[in-house]
Chain A
Amino acid sequence: MTASHPRTSLLGTTALLFEAPGETTLATQRRIWALALEAERWDSVREAVPGMNNLMLIFADPPRRLDAFKERLVEVWSEIEPLPFDGRCIDLPVVYGGDGGPHMADVVEHTGLCIDDIIALHTSPTYTVYALGSHPGYCYLGGMDVRIATPRRKVPVLKIPGGAVSIGGSQTGVSASAGPSGWNTIGATDMTFFDVDRTPPALLRPGDSIRFKPVRLLR
């Protein structure tokens, strides 16, 4: 989605989706976070939920005059400054390949790279948490090297375990609990990302970052 103007659309009567124009960048995401903080204060908004360079606004009570709501949102966007952020960075030890990384071979085949290069490219960036979504504690990360991008699997896997490190298209992520996934799992970590008895329950929040540390490679 690389339109030149922001776009708004309805998610039924439940929410409105705001999509920022341009390529997906951290600079835009910092403005999305700022817009979320602003919109959350509005009476008509119950929750403001950032996605990847977009924002879902759940209505407290859907406004009759929708145009006025949209105009206000686009106007605030045009003026909003990027949110300063000083998130913390955590290191995630990852065992690559083996039983915990059953789709490494598919990434090798698609990218034409050897396993060592894939691990080097996957572990070199510091990945910023753009948003949480998908399932409790799951982080959408920005910053993966496009050279290891691998399309989502044609047939999703019914259950991958929590801690699975995977690549889907040009994104990478770590499952926070067991569930179905269409992504390619290349490794495993045993970090607990979500514990409902902890305050806050999620380990990470937007603006935090992750570095993957290779502890072992199972061939």
Chain B
Amino acid sequence: MIEIIEAAALATVQDLGRVGALNLGVGLAGVMDPMALSAGNILLGNEEGAAAIEIPLFPFTVRFRQSIDFTVTGADCAPSLDGRPVQPWFACRAEAGTTLTLSVPAAAAWPAARAYLCVAGGVDVPLVLGSRSTQLRGSFGGHLGRPLRNGDVVPTGVAKGTASGIGLVPPSLDIPVSVDGVPAVRVLPAAEYEAFTPEAHQRLWSCAWRITPQSDRYGFRLGGDELIPTAPLELRSHGIVPGVIQVPHGGQPIIQMRDAQPSGGYPKIGVVIEADLWRLGQAPIGSRIRFLRCTWDEALDAGAANRRWLEKARRTVSILADRRTV
């Protein structure tokens, strides 16, 4: 059990997302940074999709009610256990009754916004429609269908092994993507791309887009040059997915994120490829991001590179764990 001592707003229980319920109007939800979740679970010997706590705002403090292995992945938020610093992206041991505090992410080697508190055995809230992720609209899944509050007690599952003392280098350092020194995500043009002016195309690919404060798990509202279609577009409602870059009438793009509604009707100029959504999910408010046009093959190769990184992480952890038991 984990007791929430101090939760800033919007910390939620999430796994890799709710698959298969789109025909009920139920979107994906799930972690904004699936690489950080998978890596945390690999470090702890969990199933890769075990649920964790996603923390977007700080400080955040919990007390472990029993001894348990844990790790904090994602942003480097200077984790400390009963006042002693612990390394992010390392599996650590917490004794029963100890308190873990996460602080506002400092200028780390890797800029990131969200931290993941992963525990051995995973966060064991009930599966709802096949997932433990919090679905805020409709209020189900996660912990009681809502963000965590002070005093909440969250159950943990049965640990499969011990792995404390093993760490990983974050993938943002291992497999970075940037253009002219600005973090970048790869984009495929979408259905209405050709309906935008040549100037809009040029702006899409050259602007360093600012992540505005009106950005959250539903969508990232970007600040930058206006993107204008050659004529007003009226679309019929259709399915959309996280990563879709919609352009409402004002011309400022909005990227759909994990809590986005699963259908929409605004013109789509492009879509961030699935393999780069974890990079976007970690982009801090106020930071800038570039869109890098890619081909279908390059997009699939990017997915393969993520899978290779996770495979390497699995090997590293298993080799180090074996060595320790000798």
Is the beta-carbon distance between A11 and B271 smaller than 8 angstroms?
A: yes
Residues of B107-155 contacting chain A, CB below 8 A: 128-129, 135, 137-141
Contacts of B268 in A (CB 8 A): 11
Does any Cβ of A come within 8 Å of B81's Cβ?
no
- Whether the pair A1, B129 counts as a contact (CB closer than 8 A) is no
**Whole-angstrom distance from the CB of A108 to the nearest CB of chain B?**
24
B9 at the interface (CB under 8 A from A): no
Q: B3 on the interface (CB 8 Å rule)?
A: no
Evaluate contact between B273 and A12: CB separation under 8 angstroms: yes
Task: Answer whether residue A111 sits at the interface, using C-beta atoms and an 8 A cutoff.
Answer: no
Contact B25 A138 (CB under 8 A): yes
What 1/0 mask marks residues of chain B from 189 to 216 whose CB sits below 8 Å from any chain A CB? 1110000000000000000000000000
Shortest distance between the CB of B233 and any CB in chain A (Å): 9
Q: Is A210 an interface residue (CB 8 A)?
A: no
A131 to chain B: which residues have CB within 8 Å?
Answer: 237, 263
Report A-chain residues with C-beta under 8 Å of the C-beta of B19.
46-47
Q: Is A7 interfacial (CB 8 A cutoff)?
A: yes
Contact B137 A132 (CB under 8 A): no
Do the beta carbons of B191 and A179 come within 8 Å of each other? no
Interface 1/0 per residue, B1-44 and A, CB below 8 Å: 00000000000000000011111111100000000000000000
Taking CB atoms, residues of chain A closer than 8 Å to B26 are 136
Enumerate chain B residues within 8 angstroms of A13, measured Cβ to Cβ.
188, 273-275, 296, 299-300, 303
Q: Which of A9, A62, A134, A136 lies in contact with B191, CB distance below 8 A?
A: A9
- One digit per residue, 1 when the CB lies within 8 angstroms of any chain A CB and 0 when it does not, for chain B 228-267 equals 0000001111111111100000000000000001110000
The stretch among A49-57, A77-85, A95-103, A211-219 that forms the contact with chain B is A49-57
| Contact partner, B138, options A19, A62, A171, A177, Cβ 8 Å | A177
Q: Which of B24, B271, B273 contacts A136 (CB 8 A)?
A: B24
Known A13-B300, A14-B243, A133-B262; contact A202-B236, beta-carbon cutoff 8 A: no
CA distance A51 to B264 in the complex (A): 9
B72 at the interface (CB under 8 A from A): no
Report whether B271 and A133 are in contact in the complex, using a CB–CB cutoff of 8 Å.
no
Q: Are B303 and A52 in contact (CB under 8 A)?
A: no
B272 at the interface (CB under 8 A from A): yes
The answer on a CB contact under 8 Å between A194 and B22 is no
Chain A residues within an 8 Å CB radius of B296: 10, 13, 66
Contacts of A19 in B (CB 8 A): 191, 236, 238
Q: Number of contacting residues on A, CB 8 A?
A: 45
Q: Are B236 and A52 in contact (CB under 8 A)?
A: yes
A1 / chain B contacts, CB cutoff of 8 Å: 235-236
Check if B190 sits within 8 Å of A15, measured CB to CB.
no
- Does B241 contact A12, Cβ atoms closer than 8 Å? yes
> Is the Cβ of A58 less than 8 Å from the Cβ of B241?
yes
Q: A49-B262, A136-B135 are in contact. Are A17 and B273 (CB under 8 A)?
A: no
Set of chain B residues within 8 Å of A51, measured between Cβ atoms: 236-239, 263
A126 within 8 A of B: no
User: Does A201 interact with chain B (Cβ within 8 Å)?
Assistant: yes
Contact, CB under 8 Å: A62 / B239: no
User: Closest CB of chain A to B159's CB: distance in Å?
Assistant: 29
Using CB atoms, name the residue of chain A closest to B135.
A136
Task: From known contacts A12-B273, A133-B262, A202-B25, infer whether A140 and B190 are also in contact, taking CB-CB under 8 Å.
Answer: no
Chain B residues, Cβ within 8 Å of A140: 237, 263
Interface residues of B in 38-78 (CB under 8 A from A): none
A14 to chain B, nearest CB (A): 4
Q: Report the Cα distance A212→B163, complex, angstroms.
A: 60
Q: Which residues of chain B are near A52, meaning CB under 8 Å?
A: 236-238
Please, which residues of chain B bring their CB within 8 A of the CB of A56?
22, 238-241
A-B interface, 5 closest residue pairs, ranked by CB to CB distance from nearest: A56-B239, A133-B263, A12-B271, A9-B191, A51-B238
Listed A/B pairs (11) with beta-carbon separation below 8 Å: A7-B191, A9-B190, A10-B271, A13-B300, A47-B20, A53-B236, A54-B239, A66-B296, A133-B263, A169-B234, A202-B25
A-B contacts besides A51-B263, A135-B261, 18 pairs, CB < 8 Å = A10-B296, A11-B190, A12-B274, A47-B23, A52-B237, A54-B236, A56-B22, A56-B240, A133-B237, A133-B261, A134-B237, A134-B261, A135-B25, A135-B27, A194-B25, A196-B128, A200-B24, A201-B129
